Amino acid sequence: MRPRSAPKDLSLKWLELFQICAQKGSLQQAADESGLAVSTISHHLRSLEEHLGVALFNHDRRPMVLTPKGKVFLRNIDDALRSIRRAKAEASAGGVSEASYLRLGTIEDLDSDIVPELAVYLSRQMPRCDFLFQTESSHTLIEMLRNRQLDLGITASPSERFADLQDRPLLRDPFIVVLPRSADGSLADIVDGRAKLPFLRFSSNLIIARQIEAQLRRIGISGSHSFECSNNQTLMAMVAAGAGWTITTPLLFARAKRFQSRLRMHAFPGKSFARELAIVTTPDCSRSVVDLIDRKTRALIDENALHPLIEIAPWLKDDFALLS
């Protein structure tokens, strides 16, 4: 493919649409995401290929497949577009008080004490901003961030890397065993399944459930269970009623205030393990906004979870901690 004799300047719109098409593999999906007509997107792609003088896609294949040169080009422009978006966000955002729109997602682990106070604080610090707050599971929030449906999310870190997203480590939240206060038998007997108390677990589609199951397999425990639930409050209610025991984290335990008088926390027997929470953002999220949310979220976690729980369970001090 030969370049035109007098090519136009390289268009940022061409590069952005090329990136979307490469990710989606479909002109129609790229049209749905960009709001442009399929014919318009096709025209921009042809203009980019003519400008470069190379074929970036194999146009005879469906879904769309990058040529070898297209793959090289994509690798190089991903970083470039990320830097451009970040620069645009920093330049246009100005001060925090001038921000106009923010879509923020959080896991439900924070929705009792931390997120309501964070929302009030942000509304005061960013008076011109329209907010969208979303509460979802970690894997849903990460998918929404990747699809640019959110600007920022506070989630549990998955085992795989975030790839096109940026993350700031926030909290180390160790796994603990929670028993009914009236439970008979030793902790070891209960966890190993030698007691009659069943294991109440998180739903298997959740990141937290996969982390727990992986650790139990590593140490050779397969406790009998008769109850599976995606909601931590329900698990805590069941344990408080003497229906079983569970593995959760201090942050989640802190939410279950109404049940705590009927529960007992224990360090996980043997080698400890933990999940990590992170603030995850798209590349074009304003750094000043991220800094503001980071500082306030840390202060709220310390006030509402770390300080009160470590006071009643000092053995948590080394593992239950904010991350730098």
Q: What pLDDT, on a 0 to 100 scale, did the predictor assign at position 196? A: 83
The fraction of the chain above a pLDDT of 90, given in percent, is 45
Report pLDDT digits (tens) over 102-140: 899 999 889 888 999 999 999 999 888 889 999 998 989
Q: What pLDDT, on a 0 to 100 scale, did the predictor assign at position 68? A: 92
Q: What pLDDT, on a 0 to 100 scale, did the predictor assign at position 296? A: 97
**At 320, which amino acid appears?**
F
Q: What pLDDT, on a 0 to 100 scale, did the predictor assign at position 6? A: 42
The angle formed by the CA atoms of residues 15, 20 and 22, to the nearest 5 degrees, is: 90
Report pLDDT digits (tens) over 271-282: 889 999 999 998
d(CA 141, CA 146): 9
- Indicate whether this model's pTM tops 0.95: no
Whether the bond between 63 and the residue before it is cis, its omega within 30 degrees of 0, is: yes
Report pLDDT digits (tens) over 271-315: 889 999 999 998 878 888 999 999 999 999 999 999 999 999 999
Q: Average the pLDDT over 52-73 and give the result.
A: 88
Assess contact for 283 and 146: CB atoms under 8 A. Answer: no
d(CA 293, CA 295): 6
Length of the chain: 324
Q: Average the pLDDT over 178-203 and give the result.
A: 87
Q: Average the pLDDT over 82-109 and give the result.
A: 72
Q: What pLDDT, on a 0 to 100 scale, did the predictor assign at position 107? A: 93
Q: Is the pLDDT of residue 4 over 50?
A: no
The partner residues of 103 in beta bridges, in order of sequence, read 132
Q: What pLDDT, on a 0 to 100 scale, did the predictor assign at position 12? A: 84
Instruction: State the average pLDDT for the chain.
Output: 86
Report pLDDT digits (tens) over 153-163: 999 987 667 66
Q: Is the pLDDT of residue 54 over 70?
A: yes
Q: What pLDDT, on a 0 to 100 scale, did the predictor assign at position 5? A: 44
Number of helices (H), then strands (E), belonging to the chain: the values are: 12, 13
The fraction of the chain above a pLDDT of 70, given in percent, is 90
Least confident range from 107-111, 223-227, 230-234, 285-289: namely 223-227
| Phi, psi at 228, each rounded to 5° | -135, 135
- Which of 2-16, 79-93, 235-249 has maximum average pLDDT? 235-249
Report pLDDT digits (tens) over 14-41: 998 998 888 888 888 888 877 788 899 9
Least confident range from 85-94, 135-144, 266-275: namely 85-94
Q: What pLDDT, on a 0 to 100 scale, did the predictor assign at position 28? A: 87
* Closest to 290 (Cα-Cα) out of 82, 99, 80, 148: 99
Q: What pLDDT, on a 0 to 100 scale, did the predictor assign at position 85? A: 66
